[in-house]
Amino acid sequence: MVTKKEKKSTFLQLGKMSKIPISPEKAILEKVNNSHISTPYLVRFSIPEFTSLCPITGQPDFAKILIDYVPNKWLLESKSLKLYIHSYRNIGIFHEDVVIKIGKRINKEIKPTWIRIGGYFFPRGGIPIDVFWQNGKLPKPVWVPEQNISVYQGR
């Protein structure tokens, strides 16, 4: 729930016209108060159409990215995440770097109790690359569904 203070627009992007940031470093990740801080629960963001560029060839890379986290004081505001993710579209970056950067940035901004990211990249040079990162300790009562993305098998 957004508080009255937050409604007075401490947000720079939510409810406003926003341009896509020119780079992930320039993107602003915003947060919202977690009104259920005493209840351990999981939040999942599914990003089925992530794109970036190969830093060597400039060819497009495609991935499905899943972000699971157990909030602490803050929730990640989804519009700011969308703009942040979109800022990778024209950036030359290796798959491993994408997942680690996203994970560390979200971790820095909202300081979740636990966070896990799976990056499932489509083949580059005939080899799909899956990258996983996590941080923190998962509280015992929290149910974490499987990511259920199978290994790439082609057609």
Strand (E) or helix (H) holding 82: helix 78-86
Select which of 61, 68, 97, 130 is catalytic.
Answer: 61
Q: At 48, list the tokens.
A: 């089925």
Q: For the chain, what is the largest distance between any 2 Cα atoms, rounded to a whole number of angstroms?
A: 52
Q: At 82, list the tokens.
A: 């969308």
Q: At 91, list the tokens.
A: 């950036």
68 is catalytic: no
Select which of 54, 68, 97, 130 is catalytic.
Answer: 54
- Name the amino acid, one letter, at 130: D
Q: Output the CA angle 70-71-77, nearest 5 degrees.
A: 120
CB 34 within 8 A of CB 74: yes
CB 74 within 8 A of CB 107: no
Active-site positions?
54, 61
